[in-house]
Amino acid sequence: DAKTTQPPSMDCAEGRAANLPCNHSTISGNEYVYWYRQIHSQGPQYIIHGLKNNETNEMASLIITEDRKSSTLILPHATLRDTAVYYCIVDDMYSGGGADGLTFGKGTHLIIQP
Amino acid sequence: DTEVTQTPKHLVMGMTNKKSLKCEQHMGHRAMYWYKQKAKKPPELMFVYSYEKLSINESVPSRFSPECPNSSLLNLHLHALQPEDSALYLCASSHPGTGDTGELFFGEGSRLTVL
């Protein structure tokens, strides 16, 4: 069963901020929120991750609500190259001390309009 | 070097052929993964290797046989595949264990067509 819920698609105008929502109401205390994106016919690319606090890097910002039941990925100035499927993933990644991979949901297809 | 290299990029094979997909990384990662992705679907985990040992097999049919000859290489041996096995096969690597970022580094994938 999917741990996250995302809208299947979104549009955003080039140059504007793209805000991608994700619901993860059953998240547990040791689970992180990860965001990846996949540009057509390429491998997924890591964007950002967080546990409780908001995070920012050179690609994006991640805003996690205080109850951790939802989050928003913000691309501050979207370009045409940001058109991709964006995956929000909740996982502890290292359950049992080993690597167990990430489970991808259906994601949001973000289309940046010129 | 922060790359995961997959070869070949494209592969066409018949149902009676034996072929292999190869994945290589030189980031010192000790966890490596195979994912399968059908068109317009998310990637699905197939296998996980941790410290060169198979740690997860997501009930993958035996016609797919993974191999991890050393910490930098991961192979996927293919035999007697079916047309429905046509997909993009993605390799990834990461640091295993707590305290690391948990980021998976993906290759560009090998697109497999089974005739």
Mean pLDDT of chain A: 92
Span A57-108, pLDDT tens digits: 999 999 999 999 999 999 999 999 999 999 999 987 665 445 678 889 999 9
Binned average pLDDT, 10 residues per bin, chain B of 115 residues: 89 94 93 95 95 93 96 96 96 73 88 96
Residue A70 pLDDT: 97
Residue B96 pLDDT: 65
From the candidates A6, A42, A94, which should be mutated to test the interface with B, based on the most B CB atoms within 10 A? Answer: A94
A38, A100, A105 member nearest B48 (Cβ): A100
The helix, strand and coil proportions of chain A, stated in percent and rounded to the nearest 5, come to 5, 45, 50
Is the Cβ–Cβ distance between B97 and A98 less than 8 Å? yes
Residue A97 pLDDT: 47
Unique residue bearing structure tokens 């190869």: B22
**In this complex, do A101 and B102 lie within 8 Å of one another by their Cβ atoms?**
no
A2 contacts in B (CB within 8 Å)? none
B103 contacts in A (CB within 8 Å)? 46, 49
Residue A91 pLDDT: 86
Query: Among residues 53-82 of chain A, which lie with CB inside 8 Å of chain B?
Result: none
Task: Report the SS3 class of residue B17.
Answer: coil
